[in-house]
Amino acid sequence: MIIGKGGYRSNGTAHEGVLQNTNIVATKKSKEVDPSQIQQFINELIILSQVHHMNIVRLLGWEKHLKMAAETAGIVSYLHSAVSTPTIHRDIKSANILLDALFTAKVSDFGASRLVPLDRAQLSTIV
């Protein structure tokens, strides 16, 4: 159910949701994303993760999402610089990030990946 519009750069929508434990929550989603919005969103996450008061909204579940993002970034870093032949995945997206029972990120689908020979600083491809 939509519970509000506007705010969040005046182009977002707030929805009501119900968690498995029956807690009622609000989620918000922006219609468009631009670089300034990303920075504003990161700033909001930082602030909300550090303040705790009964009259300020709480973030729920952000720890898991941050863990998954950090693990995925670590995997990409490993592929680019820690393996004997650097590997460019070329298709990192949410559908290719699998999660185990502990929500540990596992990168899948290496079909579009390319190995980068050590003597090449760049790899160019036609898309």
Question: Is 14 in contact with 27 (CB distance < 8 Å)?
Answer: yes
Cα distances (Å, whole numbers) of residue 125 to 79, 84, 121: 18, 21, 14
Q: Which residues are catalytic?
A: 91
Residues with Cβ within 8 Å of 90's Cβ and at least 6 positions away in sequence, in order, are 112, 113, 114, 125
> What are 105's strand-pairing partners?
99
Residues with Cβ within 8 Å of 74's Cβ and at least 6 positions away in sequence, in order, are none
